[in-house]
Structures are given as C-alpha cells and as structure tokens.
Amino acid sequence: MNFEITIAKTDEIKADIEVIFVANEDLNHRFVKDKKLLKKAGFKASQDEVCYLVEKDRVYVGLKAVEGKYVRRASAKAISAIKDKGYKSIKVASYTNKGCTYAIRAMVEGFVLGSYSFEKYKSKKSKNHIKKIIISLDEYSEASLDIKSASLQMHKGQIIAEATNLTRDIVNTPPDDCYPKVMAKIAKDVAKSNNLECNILKVSDLKAQKMNALLSVARASRHKPRVIHLAHKPKDPICKVSIIGKGLTYDSGGLSLKPSDFMVTMKSDKSGGSAVIGILQAIAQLNLPIEVHGFIGAVENMIGGDAYKPDDVLKAKNGKTIEVRNTDAEGRLVLADVLCYAQEQLKADYIFDLATLTGACVVGVGAYTSGVMGESQKLKEMVVREANYSGELATALDFNDYLAKTLKSDIADICNISNTRYGGALTAGLFLSEFIDEHHKDKWAHIDIAGPAFVEHAWGENPSGASGAGVRMMVKFIEKLTMKSKHI
C-alpha cells in the first residue's frame, strides 16, 4: 500500500471510501456525516466498534480517546473490515493528541498491521484491494499540523509495521519450511536488501566457540543449528545495542516431551529470533544513528538416539556447568551461549534478549503482555515505557535472592530449572543472568514475549497467530536513545 499526506480537506479528496473515527462517543462531531444512519444501526462508537455503510462508502470506527494506541487499533479494524471489498483507495482525516503527529504514525501502523494475513498455504487466497491511503491534515480538534513532521511519522509507521509483518511471516511459517538453515537465509536476504552486515556461524564455528549448551539442544535434529549475527553500523554511532533472539524453529520438548496439545504452535518458539530480523530491517531502513547488533540462536529441539538427556551436565561458552533436569527448558541453554558470544563480540551500552521463554510468564501476566526482567530497575522502566508507547504491552518483573537459590545444583554450577513450580518466568530470567558478565549486568534486560508472540485469536491490531511482538517496542526504545544525550 502507498500512503500520501495532503493539506486538502477530506471532502476535497477523491477516494473510493472514507474512514471516519468517532472519539468519545461524540456523534455530533463535524467529521460525522451519517448520524441518523449510525443511530439506526445501533452504533455506540465504543473502541474498535465498526459500522460499515456500504451505500455511503464510509466506515465508522469507535475511539475510546484520541490517542495513538486507540487510533492504531481502530485503523486496523477499519482496514480489516474493507480490505477485501473491492475498494482501491481510502481517505481519512487526522486524529492527534493536541497536534502530536505520532498519532499519524500509529494510524499508518494500524492500517499496515490490520491489512496483514498469512495465507501462503491456502488454495484460495483473499485479496487486499487497497492500494492507496490518503491522509488529510484536517485534524479532529482543528490543531495545526506540520506536513513535514506528519510525513516523517507516516514514513516511520510504514517501515516499522512492514518489519513487524515480516516477523509475523517468519513466525507463522511451519517448521518443515523454516528450520535453522532457512532462517539464516532469510537473515542473509534481509541483510543484502538493507545494507546490513551478516555473519552465519555453522556447526564447526559453534564447536570452535565452545557453544556446547546450544549444540547439545540441537544434537538430535536433522537440521543443523546456526547462530546468526546481523549488524547495522552507522558512522559515529551515539551508542551500541545488542539484541539476542531465541530462534527455536521447533521445540518438541526433547526427551522431556511436550504433551501433544502443547506441541501445536511450537513453530512460534522462533519468535524472538524472528523479531531480531524485523528489528534490524526497521533500524536499517530508518537509518538510525545507533549501532545495533542482532544475534539469533537458530536451533531445532527434537528427540532421537542422540538427544541430550535429563541428568546431563553441559558446559556453556563461559565455562559454567549446567545440570539438565528438563530438556524442555532448552531456550535458556541456547540463549546462555548466544548471550556469551554477543558480549564477547561487542561491549554494548544496552543488551536485550527476546524470547518465548516460559509459559509461566503467560500465567503471570496474561497472553498479551511481555515480562521485562533484569538487574537495573531504571532500564526495565525504560523498556516498559517505550513498549507501551509503541502499542505493545509490557510489565516489569523483579528478581529476588530467594528465587535465585532455587536454581542451585548439587553436581554443577547451576540447574536449568528451579526446584519450585512457582515463579518460573523469574527463575528463567535469573538463569540467564548467570551468563551476563559484570560489564553488562546493569545494561541488560530479558524480555519474555511468550504471551503476546503467538495468540490463536485476533486482538487489537494483531491477527490470529504471530503478532511480531518485540519489533515495535525495541525500535521505539532505540529511537528514544537517539534523543538522549546521556545513557545509563
């Protein structure tokens, strides 16, 4: 889809259909042209409520308030309702909070995210006929908008939403079509298209790097593991950021086999690694003055005669020994080695890992929210704030010494699961903290995206299936760094 911004009023714009948002249930606003019909249809203008007036070629969507997070959702609902109806162009006015053009970015994101569908494997595919969306700078509260600022936000919104949709595509692809080698090829293609550096570590490289924990998880699969390193290196960067992604292209649970119902959707266990690819694409296209490195541990966890076993003791890249008591706690083993490798490659100002790590995080904070953990309260607060601004939901979870003791092993340095069933999201994060060196302790945050990464129903601006969780929050965080003169 193409986007265009104009100073013309919506009545002066030629388009096949108009989208009108109704904020605060105000049917008397000057933008509302069909008050009687809307009342007759029982339209209450609640958030995300849609009324499609086919005879008028207008779609009305309710807004709880004129704020970016609500505009994004409403835009997604609007385009979802009409994308297959035969209309080729949309016109829409501007809806901002006191003239802040960030809401225009949110609107564009909503339109792009809401137009997404994954139908690669369907015989009959639906079609999005919308080719053009024209945004008028005629603003809801009659605020004066700067066309240059609005155009910039429109451009950013499209880039970030398209990167999110790329991530969704990778996550939604079935495991037999997206295994570590394929994930590495996707990363190479993205790097080539976006002037990113790309380095792929194969088995011999991983052995040389002593990534024994990762190699053990991968051992039983016919698909050999890869560690993928993408890098955006602008001249004279403001600061340096590392983002590590869990890329389990499929997780059977290993010998600690998952129940069959829990194995379905495990193609989503590559969501963290997929998000890293989307993030690096967006960062490169935005050409942000931050050096960003993405590291992905692409592995398949399967069963077989060569599978790693409960009771095994593994030695990670940093020399720590790990007692395995559950082979389904494999993501943290992969991340342990990749975190060590990432810190060895780059002394970063900030280091993050994104992972669908624990069902416990979903139990704790729900299916739509990411859990943010780490040693630095300030960094956690920064991540949560920027995540929420971006349209993603996140909350901070605090470590404590009592839970750390539950990872004690009698025969190794640490156990890969705790000795309690409670606090599983935090004990997984505490396990990862053992592989963060002293230089990065207060610069690291672990983000468990197990809840929002893959949900089997549509929600907000997200479809059923992969949401692309992590992309928008990390890009927004990195954008924020460009505005700061001092960093933690």
Q: List the catalytic residues.
A: 258, 332
Check if the beta carbon of residue 190 is closer than 8 Å to that of residue 280. Answer: yes
C-alpha closest to that of 11 among 71, 83, 99, 93: 93
C-alpha 311/C-alpha 88 separation (Å) is: 60
C-alpha 63/C-alpha 82 separation (Å) is: 18
Q: What is the dihedral of CA 153, 155, 159, 160, to 10 degrees?
A: 10
The strand pair at 350-355 and 313-315 is best described as unpaired
C-alpha 333/C-alpha 57 separation (Å) is: 55
DSSP 436: S
Q: How far, CA to CA in Å, does 165 sit from each of 157, 162, 371, 470?
A: 12, 5, 22, 12
Q: How far, CA to CA in Å, does 315 sit from each of 46, 207, 329?
A: 55, 12, 16
C-alpha 216/C-alpha 297 separation (Å) is: 13
C-alpha 84/C-alpha 200 separation (Å) is: 40
- Structure tokens given for 197: 């550096």
DSSP sequence for 139-162 = ETT-----HHHHHHHHHHHHHHHH
